[in-house]
């Protein structure tokens, strides 16, 4: 007789392989649960560490901001194709054009990262104007070099050590450019330049030269060199930016009045102009508290969803283990009788779990990497986090992985170890469970039903509600924009103010001093009356009240029609004030008096309404405070024209009407018809691309897992009831009737779970509603979830019972 | 306490293996308390072959489980091989179960997914003083003793009841325990197989093993030189 007995470890491993061969389903459930758990904890910790950090500069936490640049810098940004500088150069009286502008371009860095970014362009004139080091002038001759902003560097290139001056190539539509240096982020914000003069006009003759200072009068040639024009093409709406250096003490209103400027913005001192021609390291930027709160809220939502998942996984494992206990009780008792210690059983359980742990940890690493990639690619998150901060971190993953493995071994062994106390080898009692085990089974089953309803509910919400909201907010407006410019603009605007168009095209037109899509806006300092210290800089637009309805800008509170002493603010600005006044309800802000101070005058207005945040600026996704003033309050000085929106299909009629009207009233004029205005809300894109997909994935996996568990619960219950069912069948009960009875047996317990689900939903509202921008307490979807879940559980129970009872009756007795 | 060394040393000296003094066991279910064993006194010395008879529900299996360290006491004192079991920790009790006790059950209680050899080997795996190299020889000896060596690679489901019980006996003796406890060892067997099992137990006793059997079968009980009677939780010795 050939007798081979392996060593203990080999014996245990072979036993594990044998067991999982017979329990493939359970193997999958455990492996999936554990991989989800590990990935989830790793991601949460990683994001949590960043969000939880109280460093004000966590945006730049891993790479300090580099303000400017290298000694002997040889290159600077050069305009790339598509830039319209040549048109500007034809303008009479301008000898040089500073090509400081912004374009949206597809940039590729390395092999994997690609994103749309803004590229800034500089030229010699601007370098001189901004008193940048003179040796930068030569950069213009090198067309293969670019400057990047500090933000770009942090986001994509922070792996490089700036001190080593690495040669980095980035690609703009396959054209390679060498990164020549880093400029601060403020370079891409016009307001921080020394002075920026804005006009919305496409005709350059509207710009007059600045009044000369005494010194400049003595040197007219220098004036020419100091005036810089730039042009920015966005969706066909041209803008010109003029940058000039002015001496301190010049009266801005005088300057504007004298030269017919429509808007003027005085920025701060150029912070990046440094005398030192070497690398300067400065502190990171302070994170806007609102931004931080937003991230924290997102993290809380993630945490909440994860805790649901965690609860489901733990309860599922517990149930699964107690189910296993029923099957293995005899084996465990025998082992106990022959002298197995708890440590022996723990070791056996752990070895048994080895295949699960290996598979699950490999899968979890994949999930963890996938989640981080998804998060890194989401626009919102990369706005706030560095890519580097969200990269795979083995120093974090490995301890989490070990911890989860240990926890799993404990969860896996505990039911066995605790059950060992009350085991009997009497054949009549060996199949029964203790009352505490039955209690755990009952609560675990209850919990899983709650989880299932909740996850199906979240799924229906995810699929329907978020999609609905996203669709409702991502659309092309059915309007056409007309731009009317005239020398006789006063008469024109008075005519509009009188509502002539409104009467003819009632509810189909809206007028705005600034374009809806691409406005050339003014900046005002806005503060609550009596609290001028906490002033906020807001972008002002003069609009007619029906602009909001026509442009589908949602009114959140109050009214959209404004009298001359009223204004509408966007949610961003409203929240700033609400925070200052510690108010929680936007309605409480209505009627609040604001002091609006521009460079022309100061005025007190009341908040008449609050509208949602809308990105008025074509390529800026950032929310900004907006103040909408009544169109009728445009200072005469500034009126040179206006924009009008008209709904399709009335555009042709409106153009005809507008032309005939302008012929009569406007003197010399120009009317430009713009293409359809497209409105894509950034948040909705984010919702579509990230939140919806993630929520769907999480709830889908959760629901699948729980469905498996419901099947398991049903099977375990049947095993517990085996003898009773066998006895009933033996005395003539019908198998079909028993199956249906089994399916319906959970009606009462199921509906008992509903109040708990409702409670969970109400609690979840706080965490999720603001972040997902959906109405969590949605009765219709809740009912759908209940109906779907109930049907699924009933069906599973019936099928399970049918299969279970198909065995010969003798085997059940 | 070095149980392992002490248990080996004490094997050479004849001694009282089981000493129960006023042992009682109560089961509480809700508000109802049930006395399964009442003030039981029992002494089994090395080399004894004793039986405990009683009707169903008389508490004999509970008493055997107490003796086999599968149940705790509600009251009284129990010394196994001179070890005061009430003062021992779970780990020490496990060592006693492994090295000092061999169990034989009415329904055999073999692990179905292990082969005969693996089942017999199971107690050795929990005996830390043994190297795995010794397993094969010990299992071969035990199976030879019960006449089941030719079935070493079979699974329990491929064996008859009598064969399964012989495998269970092999498992019970593999660690050469001080005492073998048998709970209705012939309860599931026919007469022929019952006789074989009893003959095997007697042979083991003659070779030095101490055996305590619980049974409701008077014919079986009467085969033992020392007999106890269990009635409604009360244990009394029969003088035969």
Domains and CATH numbers, chain B: 15-238 (3.40.50.300)
Check CB contact of A428 with chain B, cutoff 8 Å.
no
Contacts with A275 (C-beta within 8 Å, 6 or more apart), sequence order: none
Q: Looking at beta carbons, which residues of chain B come within 8 Å of A426?
A: 61
At residue A606, the pLDDT reads: 93
- Among the partner residues A2, A18, A340, nearest to B126 by beta-carbon distance: A340
| CA-based nearest residue in chain A for residue B153 | A3
Nearest to B78 by CA among B60, B91, B99, B93: B93
B109 with A334: Cβ contact below 8 A: yes
| CA-based nearest residue in chain B for residue A427 | B107
A5 with B94: Cβ contact below 8 A: no
CA distance A355 to chain B (A): 19
CA distance B136 to chain A (A): 6
Helix ranges, A478-524 (H): 489-497, 500-504
CA distance A27 to chain B (A): 18
At residue B192, the pLDDT reads: 86
Q: Looking at beta carbons, which residues of chain B come within 8 Å of A1?
A: 140, 149-150, 152-153
| CA-based nearest residue in chain B for residue A422 | B71
In which region does residue A249 sit, left (phi positive, over 0), alpha (psi from -120 to 50) or beta (all else)?
Answer: left
Contact assessment for residue B196 and residue B204, using Cβ atoms and an 8 Å cutoff: no
Residue A485 to residue A480: CA distance in whole angstroms: 16
CA angle A522, A525, A526 (to 5 degrees): 115
Residue A490 to residue A667: CA distance in whole angstroms: 11
Q: Looking at beta carbons, which residues of chain B come within 8 Å of A330?
A: 109
Q: Looking at beta carbons, which residues of chain B come within 8 Å of A343?
A: 91
Residue A21 to residue A26: CA distance in whole angstroms: 10
| CA-based nearest residue in chain B for residue A342 | B91
Check CB contact of A18 with chain B, cutoff 8 Å.
yes
At residue A252, the pLDDT reads: 53
pLDDT(B151) > 60? yes
B122 with A335: Cβ contact below 8 A: yes
Nearest to A263 by CA among A641, A607, A536: A641
At residue B20, the pLDDT reads: 93
Residue A313 to residue B143: CA distance in whole angstroms: 46
Q: Looking at beta carbons, which residues of chain A come within 8 Å of B117?
A: 3, 5
Mutation for B interface: A4, A329, A338, most B CBs within 10 A: A338
- Cα torsion for B53, B55, B57, B62, to the nearest 10°? 10
Token pair recorded at residue B155: 């699974």
Question: Could you give the 3-state DSSP secondary structure of residue A66?
Answer: strand
| CA-based nearest residue in chain A for residue B107 | A427
- Among the partner residues B68, B94, B101, nearest to A340 by beta-carbon distance: B94
CA distance B91 to chain A (A): 6
Check CB contact of A811 with chain B, cutoff 8 Å.
no
Scan residues 318-347 of A and list those with Cβ closer than 8 Å to B: 330-331, 333-344
A426 with B135: Cβ contact below 8 A: no
Residues of B at the A interface, defined by Cβ within 8 angstroms: 61, 65, 68, 70, 90-91, 94-99, 101, 103, 105-107, 109-111, 113, 117-118, 121-123, 125-127, 132, 135-136, 139-140, 149-150, 152-153, 171, 175, 183
In chain B, the N- to C-terminal Cα span, in Å, equals: 39
Sheet containing A169-172: order of strands: A113-120, A102-109, A169-172, A175-183, A145-149
Sign of the torsion formed by the C-alpha atoms of A146, A148, A153 and A155: negative
Token pair recorded at residue A146: 């670019």
A340 with B183: Cβ contact below 8 A: no
Give the Cβ contact number of residue B204 at 10 Å.
20
B132 with A427: Cβ contact below 8 A: no
Q: Which residues of chain A have pLDDT under 50?
A: 50-108, 110-116, 118-121, 129-143, 184, 186-217, 219-248, 255-292, 378-389, 426-431, 473-476, 515-520, 599, 617-622, 637-639, 675-688, 771-776
Q: Looking at beta carbons, which residues of chain B come within 8 Å of A419?
A: none
- Among the partner residues B99, B111, B183, nearest to A334 by beta-carbon distance: B111
Cis amide leading into A480 (omega within 30): no
- Among the partner residues B126, B175, B183, nearest to A344 by beta-carbon distance: B126
A5 with B136: Cβ contact below 8 A: yes
At residue A607, the pLDDT reads: 93
For residue B80, the cross-strand partners are B18, B83
At residue A515, the pLDDT reads: 44
Residue that the structure tokens 């003197």 belong to: A667
B122 with A334: Cβ contact below 8 A: yes
B121 with A5: Cβ contact below 8 A: yes
Helices and strands per DSSP (H, E), number in chain A: 25, 22
- B198 vs A466 pLDDT, higher one: B198
- Among the partner residues B61, B96, B125, nearest to A426 by beta-carbon distance: B61
For residue A509, the cross-strand partners are A646
- B79 vs A307 pLDDT, higher one: B79
A338 with B135: Cβ contact below 8 A: no
Across A344-366, b (16+ Cβ under 10 Å) vs e yields bbbbbbbbbbebbbebbbebbbe
Contact assessment for residue A739 and residue A798, using Cβ atoms and an 8 Å cutoff: yes
- Among the partner residues A5, A8, A336, nearest to B139 by beta-carbon distance: A5
pLDDT(B115) > 70? yes
Q: Looking at beta carbons, which residues of chain A come within 8 Å of B131?
A: none
Residue A699 to residue A697: CA distance in whole angstroms: 6
Helices and strands per DSSP (H, E), number in chain B: 8, 10
A3 with B103: Cβ contact below 8 A: no
At residue A83, the pLDDT reads: 27
Q: For B15-51, what is each residue's pLDDT tens digit?
A: 889 999 999 998 877 778 888 899 999 999 998 999 9
ipTM attached to this prediction: 0.79
CA distance B94 to chain A (A): 5
At residue A555, the pLDDT reads: 86
| CA-based nearest residue in chain B for residue A6 | B132
Nearest to A265 by CA among A635, A599, A631: A599
At residue A535, the pLDDT reads: 77
Phi, psi of B231 (to 5 degrees): -130, 115
| CA-based nearest residue in chain B for residue A344 | B126
Contact assessment for residue A782 and residue A759, using Cβ atoms and an 8 Å cutoff: no
- Among the partner residues A333, A339, A423, nearest to B94 by beta-carbon distance: A339
Residue A525 to residue A529: CA distance in whole angstroms: 12
Question: Could you give the 3-state DSSP secondary structure of residue B44?
Answer: strand
State percent of chain B over pLDDT 70. 93
Helix ranges, A721-746 (H): 722-730, 735-744
DSSP conformation class of A463: I
* CB half-sphere exposure, A254, CA atoms < 13 A: 6
* CB half-sphere exposure, A524, CA atoms < 13 A: 26
Q: Looking at beta carbons, which residues of chain A come within 8 Å of B103?
A: 337-338
Q: Looking at beta carbons, which residues of chain A come within 8 Å of B98?
A: 338-340
At residue B15, the pLDDT reads: 81
Residue A591 to residue A470: CA distance in whole angstroms: 32
A425 with B111: Cβ contact below 8 A: no
pLDDT(B229) > 60? yes
Check CB contact of A471 with chain B, cutoff 8 Å.
no
At residue A98, the pLDDT reads: 33
Task: Tally C-beta pairs within 8 A across A and B.
Answer: 90
Check CB contact of A424 with chain B, cutoff 8 Å.
yes
Residue A514 to residue A536: CA distance in whole angstroms: 21
């Amino acid at each position: 007789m050939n007798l081979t007995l392996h060593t203990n470890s080999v014996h245990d491993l072979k036993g594990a392989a044998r067991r999982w061969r017979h329990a493939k389903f359970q193997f999958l459930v455990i492996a999936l649960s554990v991989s989800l758990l590990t990935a989830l904890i790793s991601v949460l910790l990683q994001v949590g560490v960043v969000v939880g950090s109280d460093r004000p500069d966590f945006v730049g936490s891993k790479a300090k901001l580099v303000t400017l640049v290298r000694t002997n810098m040889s290159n600077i940004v050069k305009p790339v194709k598509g830039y319209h500088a040549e048109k500007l150069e034809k303008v009479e009286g301008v000898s040089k054009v500073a090509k400081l502008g912004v374009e949206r371009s597809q940039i590729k860095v390395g092999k994997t990262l690609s994103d749309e970014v803004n590229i800034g362009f500089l030229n010699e004139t601007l370098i001189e104007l901004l008193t940048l080091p003179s040796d930068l002038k030569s950069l213009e001759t090198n067309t293969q070099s670019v400057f990047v902003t500090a933000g770009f560097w942090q986001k994509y290139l922070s792996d490089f050590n700036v001190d080593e001056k690495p040669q980095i190539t980035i690609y703009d539509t396959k054209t390679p450019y060498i990164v020549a240096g880093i400029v601060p982020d403020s370079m891409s914000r016009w307001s921080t330049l020394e002075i920026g003069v804005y006009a919305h006009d496409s005709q350059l003759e509207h710009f007059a030269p600045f009044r000369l200072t005494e010194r400049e009068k003595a040197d007219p040639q220098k004036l020419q060199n100091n005036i810089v024009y730039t042009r920015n093409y966005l969706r066909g709406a041209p803008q010109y930016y003029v940058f000039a250096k002015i001496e301190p003490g010049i009266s801005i209103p005088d300057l504007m009045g004298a030269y017919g400027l429509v808007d003027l913005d005085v920025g701060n001192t150029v912070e990046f102009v440094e005398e030192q021609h070497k690398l300067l390291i400065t502190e990171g930027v302070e994170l806007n508290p609102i931004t931080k709160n937003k991230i924290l809220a997102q993290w809380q939502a993630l945490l909440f969803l994860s805790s649901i998942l965690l609860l489901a996984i733990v309860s599922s494992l517990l149930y699964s283990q107690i189910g296993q206990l029923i099957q293995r009780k005899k084996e465990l008792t025998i082992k106990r009788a022959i002298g197995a210690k708890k440590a022996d059983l723990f070791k056996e359980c752990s070895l048994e779990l080895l295949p699960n742990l290996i598979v699950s940890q490999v899968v979890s690493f994949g999930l963890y990497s996938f989640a981080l990639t998804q998060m890194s690619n989401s626009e919102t998150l990369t706005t706030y986090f560095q890519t580097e901060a969200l990269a795979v971190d083995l120093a974090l993953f490995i301890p989490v992985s070990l911890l989860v493995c240990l926890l799993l071994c404990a969860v896996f062994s505990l039911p066995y170890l605790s059950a060992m106390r009350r085991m009997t080898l009497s054949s009549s009692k060996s199949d029964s469970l203790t009352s505490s085990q039955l209690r755990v089974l009952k609560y675990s089953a209850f919990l899983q039903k709650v989880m299932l309803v909740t996850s199906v509910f979240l799924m229906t919400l995810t699929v329907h509600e978020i999609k609905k909201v996203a669709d409702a907010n991502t659309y092309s407006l059915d309007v056409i924009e007309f731009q009317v410019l005239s020398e006789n603009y006063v008469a024109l605007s008075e005519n509009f103010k009188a509502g002539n168009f409104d009467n003819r095209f009632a509810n189909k037109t809206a007028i705005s001093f600034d374009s809806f899509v691409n406005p050339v806006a003014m900046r005002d300092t806005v503060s609550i009356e009596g609290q001028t210290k906490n002033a906020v800089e807001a972008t002002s637009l003069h609009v007619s009240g029906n602009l909001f309805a026509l442009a589908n800008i949602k009114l959140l509170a109050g009214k959209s029609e404004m009298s001359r002493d009223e204004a509408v603010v966007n949610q961003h600005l409203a929240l700033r004030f609400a925070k200052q006044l510690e108010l929680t309800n936007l309605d409480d802000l209505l009627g609040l008096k604001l002091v609006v101070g521009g460079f022309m005058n100061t005025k007190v207005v009341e908040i008449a309404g609050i509208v949602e945040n809308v990105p008025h600026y074509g390529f800026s996704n950032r929310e900004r405070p907006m103040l909408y003033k009544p169109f009728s309050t445009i200072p005469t000085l500034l009126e040179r024209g206006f924009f009008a929106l008209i709904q399709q299909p009335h555009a042709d009629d409106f153009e005809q009407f507008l032309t005939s009207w302008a012929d009569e009233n406007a003197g010399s004029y120009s009317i430009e018809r713009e293409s359809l205005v497209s409105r894509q809300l950034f948040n909705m894109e984010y919702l579509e691309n990230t939140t919806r997909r993630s929520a769907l994935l999480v709830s889908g996996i959760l629901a699948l897992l729980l469905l498996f568990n419901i099947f398991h619960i049903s099977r375990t219950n049947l095993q517990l009831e085996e003898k009773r069912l066998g006895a009933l069948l033996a005395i003539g009960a019908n198998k079909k009737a028993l199956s249906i009875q089994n399916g319906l047996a959970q009606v009462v317990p199921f509906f008992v779970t509903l109040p708990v689900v409702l409670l969970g939903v109400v609690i979840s509202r706080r965490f999720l509603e603001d972040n997902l921008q959906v109405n969590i307490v949605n009765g219709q979807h809740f009912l759908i979830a209940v109906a779907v879940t109930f049907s699924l559980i009933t069906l599973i129970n019936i099928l399970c019972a049918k299969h279970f009872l198909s065995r010969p009756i003798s085997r059940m007795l | 306490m070095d149980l392992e060394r002490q248990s080996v040393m004490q094997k050479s000296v004849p001694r009282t293996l089981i000493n129960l003094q006023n042992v009682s066991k109560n089961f509480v279910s809700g508000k109802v308390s049930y006395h399964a064993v009442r003030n039981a006194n029992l002494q089994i010395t090395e080399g004894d072959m004793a039986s405990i008879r009683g009707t169903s529900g008389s508490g004999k299996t509970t008493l055997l489980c107490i003796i086999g360290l599968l149940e705790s006491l509600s009251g009284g004192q129990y010394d196994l091989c001179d070890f005061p079991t009430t003062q021992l920790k779970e780990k020490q009790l496990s060592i006693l179960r492994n090295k000092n006790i061999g169990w034989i059950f009415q329904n055999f209680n073999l692990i179905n997914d292990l082969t005969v050899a693996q089942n017999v080997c199971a107690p050795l795996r929990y005996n830390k003083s043994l190297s795995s190299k010794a397993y094969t020889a010990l299992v071969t000896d035990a199976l030879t003793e019960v006449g089941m060596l030719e079935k070493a690679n079979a699974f329990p489901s491929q064996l008859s009841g009598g064969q399964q019980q012989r495998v269970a006996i092999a498992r019970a003796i593999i660690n050469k325990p001080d005492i073998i406890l048998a709970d209705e060892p012939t309860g599931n067997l026919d007469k022929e197989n019952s006789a074989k099992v009893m003959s095997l137990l007697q042979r083991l006793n003659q070779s030095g093993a101490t055996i305590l059997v619980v049974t409701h079968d008077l014919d079986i009980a009467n085969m033992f030189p020392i007999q106890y009677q269990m009635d409604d939780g009360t244990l009394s010795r029969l003088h035969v």
